[in-house]
Structure 1
């Protein structure tokens, strides 16, 4: 049976969840309860649940911080978020942390059990993946060991994304320590084969996302894992990852022409996020001064004005839909503060969001 941990600072709220869940029918067992995120993290390490149900507003370590820590430390855990507040920022954090579902209190029994079924389904899919890849019971005799490995694996990918050779080397050193201390002798060759294949996939995914062919070099990593010992395999991985970073850096330096259509497309897709001239410049690996100058020359509109215009056009479109409130429209175009949204909207159109909603202006 899959194990469930409930985290909520209100005892009555935990009792409601226990009463509404179809635990026996879904073959789930509640192994523990916690009053805040700090206690929840301790119980997760101690009890190793597969599913966590957590409130968002709690004293000490609240739900936002808890989700961030769960996402980094326990990536295989399935999380259901509960909140008594219809808060867009909470929903956004839940999505970014890959929560399975977001439930509003008072929790509806049907929605609760549907969320639990989603968790079970994802766990089954995950189990099938584990059984057909490097993540086998032979390599990871416990969930805790698999989670530790997955954290290191995420660190490697993050190092690649940041093009940081020192970070790659540091993570590889930690990985070598982990492999040397966590697994008994006799598992070495099977472990190396599976690990080598996994790191090939990470490298190939990274190179593919950067539109660079690197397959033959990546496969050398996998081949090395089939015939060498841990230090040799990790040294091969270090070398190939370093070469990948060098290649990406060289390609990016050669791309001196900034394609403004791509910048506009990026803004069109991310206007809901807190994007600025600085963040867009970082996304395209150019200075903010260069981006501002080229964007203005090409479009005769500065980049900040373009972001505001896109948001306002979308907001006006949303306000014409009667089922969407002014507050919701503001959140959906990247303005969590309704008063600020009201000022920007009036400055842009010369009318208020209320004028649109009341039908005074079409």
Structure 2
């Protein structure tokens, strides 16, 4: 679904150039309206919805800074990217303090515009994912974590990375994991590592240190102690008994 854009600039040729470039970028974006100044844009915004506003800072009647301040008084949150020239950066700083998403410098280069809009789209996608996780059932979150554990090499798994995979705080994920599976995340991960090490012990000729490293243990002694605690025998004894 395309995201909608409102262009606000007192120079028509600038708006035309921006619209042409945005269309050329082939991003899921569409310019749906243009305004010549902040006051005109404010009136339009009160009656219409738009995902993103790209506004010049220097404009007659109502400049970009005043426009952004007035926007903040509306109940609907609007994403804004401001445009300025190099010697107006103090205006940009003021705009950023009022909640502006990003800024571009004139003359607006195609590569800079593309990077800015792609960054905004990525932010939108991330925010949507976080919202989806917040609204989903805890069990579905755990299912996604289990899928992450299944597809990720054991030597690369950490609680922090698992939490990031579902956009969640690590400590909260740890609590949720215990509630849903009745075991700690670290204990579940240890079981996965021991099961994989048993498979490697039975089906390969890898050395103990190599197996330990493959399943996520940098220390061979720690691996051996964990293996014996869970299986009742050392890795070497397990391999010999199988033979």
* TM-score scaled by length of structure 2: 0.51
- Distance in 2 of aligned mates of 1:235 and 1:339: 53
Q: Do the aligned partners of residues 306 and 233 (structure 1) sit closer, same or farther apart at CA in structure 2, a change above 3 Å counting?
A: same
1:253 aligns with 2:130: yes
Q: Is the 8 A contact 2:200 2:206 kept in 1?
A: yes
Q: Which residue of 1 aligns with 2:225?
A: 343
Q: Do the aligned partners of residues 242 and 338 (structure 1) sit closer, same or farther apart at CA in structure 2, a change above 3 Å counting?
A: closer
Q: Which residue of 2 aligns with 1:237?
A: 114
Q: Is the 8 A contact 1:277 1:288 kept in 2?
A: yes
Q: Deviations along 1:243-272, whole A, 9 cap, x unmatched?
A: 303412330231113521110121122242
- 1:311 is aligned, of 193, 200, 218, to 193
- Per the TM alignment, residue 231 of structure 1 is displaced from its structure 2 partner at its CA by 3.2
Q: Do the aligned partners of residues 344 and 233 (structure 1) sit closer, same or farther apart at CA in structure 2, a change above 3 Å counting?
A: same
- Distance in 2 of aligned mates of 1:311 and 1:283: 20
- 1:265 is aligned, of 137, 147, 151, to 147
Q: Which runs of 5+ in 1 are unaligned?
A: 1-192, 201-214, 219-228
- Distance in 2 of aligned mates of 1:301 and 1:350: 20
- Distance in 2 of aligned mates of 1:321 and 1:249: 42
Q: Do the aligned partners of residues 248 and 328 (structure 1) sit closer, same or farther apart at CA in structure 2, a change above 3 Å counting?
A: same
Structure 1 consecutive aligned stretches of length 4 or more whose deviation exceeds 4 Å: none
Report the secondary structure of 1:261's partner residue. Answer: helix
Q: Which has the higher contact order (CA 8 A, sep 6+)?
A: 2
- Distance in 1 of aligned mates of 2:28 and 2:218: 48
Q: Deviations along 1:224-243, whole A, 9 cap, x unmatched?
A: xxxxx973313422441243
Q: Is the 8 A contact 1:322 1:357 kept in 2?
A: no
Calculate the aligned-residue CA RMSD, in Å.
Answer: 3.0
Q: Do the aligned partners of residues 309 and 236 (structure 1) sit closer, same or farther apart at CA in structure 2, a change above 3 Å counting?
A: same
1:325 aligns with 2:207: yes
Q: Which residue of 2 aligns with 1:217?
A: 29
Q: Is the 8 A contact 1:281 1:291 kept in 2?
A: yes
* 1:80-159 aligned within 5 A: none
Paired residues in the alignment total 143
Q: Do the aligned partners of residues 271 and 301 (structure 1) sit closer, same or farther apart at CA in structure 2, a change above 3 Å counting?
A: farther
Q: Which residue of 2 aligns with 1:275?
A: 157
- Per the TM alignment, residue 311 of structure 1 is displaced from its structure 2 partner at its CA by 0.6
- Distance in 1 of aligned mates of 2:216 and 2:126: 32
Q: Do the aligned partners of residues 249 and 309 (structure 1) sit closer, same or farther apart at CA in structure 2, a change above 3 Å counting?
A: same
Q: Deviations along 1:279-334, whole A, 9 cap, x unmatched?
A: 21123211112211211111111111111100100101111125232222212212
